Amino acid sequence: MASAKITIAGAGIFGLACAWELTRRGQPVRVFDAARIGAGASGGHVGALAPHAPENWNAKKQVQLDALIAAADWWEGVAQAGGADPGYARTGRIQPVAIGTEAHLRDRIAAARANWPEWAGMALTDRAPGDLVPQSPSGLWLVDRLTARISPRRAGAALAAAIRAAGGEIIEGVPAPDAPAIWATGVAGLAPFGGGGVKGQSALLGFAAPGQPQVFADGLHIVPHADGTVAIGSTSERDVMETGTDAQLDALIDKARALCPALADAPVIDRWAGIRPRAKSRAPMVGPWPGRPGHYVANGGFKIGLAMAPAVAVMLADLILDGTDRIPPGFLPPVPMAGG
């Protein structure tokens, strides 16, 4: 006898990842989204799957590291199941080194050696690889081989294709019914738990460097994608719910061109703004919804949602299908506020 379908509310990266993980284990699913696939924060450009700093190691960093390590196989499975390329590749990262920070970075390299796998390699170099080399005042760059990239929009489309190919349903333009479900509804879904949204803006430039490492410099991500584009982003704007692009994005584009002169003449081919869900704890929120039997939460990806989505999906599938609880206590949803 077939299992009853599990409902997933929200077709962003967390909702789709949960739907795929359940589907690939043989569990029928039905995904609802009041708008469309990737309509919220999952519809941006950047797609930097970058690790947390390896110092001050904790459970959140370990879960993210495990997700980054497992990502290549997980996304390959998605691509094979649905026939759509999510744009994933582990291409590494390069960061310019400020004068006087070399000793601190050697401590960081030592922490990476202690906490990351050996192949992930973090090192200082005076010979930066790639075409998008950021200017470095010290003549040194910090590189690692753990960082990967993915196209957020293509990732969502690839997950949807895999889910549908395996018999799952995705219903766009219809909100989920108020019944037991996995709730992955972004900013709106955080309201009962005291979370909120942070606006981000990004741009897509026409510049082909598909196999080059991404750049992280002065808070800015510069990410070459497989389709001949380079994503730059993003702003971080608290207490702003308006989703238009503005002069802050223009400044970000100018900053990217200054950091990487190779982008000086690259045309801007798309601009985006959206509201990213940020849980009150800043960790992703994953697990049973307190006081609502049969309801679960997968939300609060904020800036690491794409990196954490496979891990979030695996943890919830383990809990729902097998009763195995691998969710760190710091990720569990808090008791909702009064009226939530």
pLDDT 10s digits, 155-167: 999 999 999 999 9
C-beta of residue 120 within 8 angstroms of C-beta of residue 105: no
Strand partners, 205: 230, 268
Q: What is the pLDDT of residue 338?
A: 67
Domain annotation covers residue 22: yes
**How many structural domains does the chain have?**
1
Distance, CA of 145 to CA of 122 (rounded, Å): 7
Q: How far apart are the first and last CA of the chain?
A: 36
What mean pLDDT value characterizes the chain? 95
Q: What angle do CA 154, 313, 309 make, to 5 degrees?
A: 45
* pTM (2 d.p.): 0.95
pLDDT 10s digits, 296-308: 999 999 999 999 9
Domain annotation covers residue 221: yes
Domain annotation covers residue 1: no
In which band, very low, low, confident or very high, does the pLDDT at 173 lie, cut at 50, 70 and 90? Answer: very high
Domain annotation covers residue 293: yes
C-beta of residue 71 within 8 angstroms of C-beta of residue 63: no
105 CB contacts (<8 Å, ≥6 apart)? 97, 124, 142
The closest alpha carbon to 61, from 333, 336, 286, 331, belongs to 331
Given a cut of 80, whether residue 282 has pLDDT beyond it is: yes
Q: What are phi and psi of 273, to 5 degrees?
A: -145, 145
Domain annotation covers residue 16: yes
317 CB contacts (<8 Å, ≥6 apart)? 18, 21, 22, 25, 27
* Buried/exposed code over 290-309 (b: 16+ C-beta within 10 A; e: otherwise): eeeeebbbbbbbbbbbbbbb
Domain span at 129: 6-331
Domain annotation covers residue 10: yes
Q: What is the pLDDT of residue 240?
A: 83
The pLDDT > 90 percentage for the chain reads 92
CATH of the domain at 170: 3.50.50.60
Domain annotation covers residue 38: yes
In which band, very low, low, confident or very high, does the pLDDT at 129 lie, cut at 50, 70 and 90? Answer: confident
Domain annotation covers residue 340: no
Given a cut of 50, whether residue 1 has pLDDT beyond it is: no
Q: What is the pLDDT of residue 245?
A: 95
